[in-house]
Amino acid sequence: MEPYRVLIADDEMISRGYMELFIRTSNRYEIAAALPYADDVFAWCEKNPLPDLVVMDVLMAAGTDGLTAAGELKKRYPRVKIIVTTSMADADWTDRAKESGIESFWFKTYPDLSLLEVMDRTMAGESVYPASAPAVMLGDLPASRLSKQQRTLLRLMTDGLSNREIAEKMGLSPNTVKEYVDTLMERTGIHSRTGLAARASRLGIAVSDTDLRSG
């Protein structure tokens, strides 16, 4: 049996190189291409024989985000199987992936399931999704205890908006927004507005709209 051809899209060179090296250890797969941006995948597919499997990271430094690109790729090439990967923990992303018809989702930080196992099961016809996102702490506060409103607030903070601008977006008063921010800082133990937004973004709890469009 010919090995399955795999295309990797990940803008982190170390992560991309690791996945490429890891996949090469299996005689069941061969690397068709390893690309730094999601947009590159479409151009590559137009010029080359389609891969059997695409492994796509969610967050890209530039261009289309991985989830949006994976959904569009599935529309254009429905027979190509797709695994979306990320080191950031956000259960909403798995919901988006399922809605887009993407076969599988793998958290890079999930120790109980290797990428190769997810690939094998995906190519065998399974749809592999984690039962839950890995536990993530925003300071002293479990991210799972954040309300939708708090996640929205954190996202707008990550976008660099002031309290007044956030108030306009959320239909609240600036004083109420300040109270919400103060409450989050108290509950997380992160006593800096900038630090709170930066930590939330780094953990993938609240990704800026400039990094991940809602699609």
Q: Quick one: tokens of 80?
A: 């190509």
Taking the whole predicted model, whether its pTM rises above 0.75 is answered as: no
Give tens-digit pLDDT for 186-201. 999 999 999 998 888 7
Chosen domain end from 123, 153, 186: 123
User: Is residue 214 in some structural domain?
Assistant: no
The reply to whether 75 and 160 lie within a common domain is no
The reply to whether 76 and 167 lie within a common domain is no
The reply to whether 75 and 180 lie within a common domain is no
pLDDT surpassing 60 at residue 209: no
The reply to whether 42 and 145 lie within a common domain is no
User: Is residue 142 in some structural domain?
Assistant: yes
Reduced to 3 states (helix: H, G, I; strand: E, B; else coil), residue 184 is helix
The reply to whether 65 and 101 lie within a common domain is yes
The reply to whether 27 and 119 lie within a common domain is yes
The reply to whether 119 and 36 lie within a common domain is yes
- Note whether 160 and 168 are within 8 A (CB): no
pLDDT surpassing 80 at residue 37: yes
Average pLDDT, the chain: 86
Range of the domain at 142: 137-203
pLDDT surpassing 90 at residue 113: no
- Across-strand partners of 42? none
pLDDT surpassing 50 at residue 185: yes
User: Is residue 70 in some structural domain?
Assistant: yes
The reply to whether 107 and 38 lie within a common domain is yes
- Across-strand partners of 29? 4
Give tens-digit pLDDT for 151-170. 889 989 988 899 999 999 99
The reply to whether 23 and 96 lie within a common domain is yes
Whichever domain contains 60, its CATH number is 3.40.50.2300
Integer Cα distance of 185 and 6 in angstroms: 44
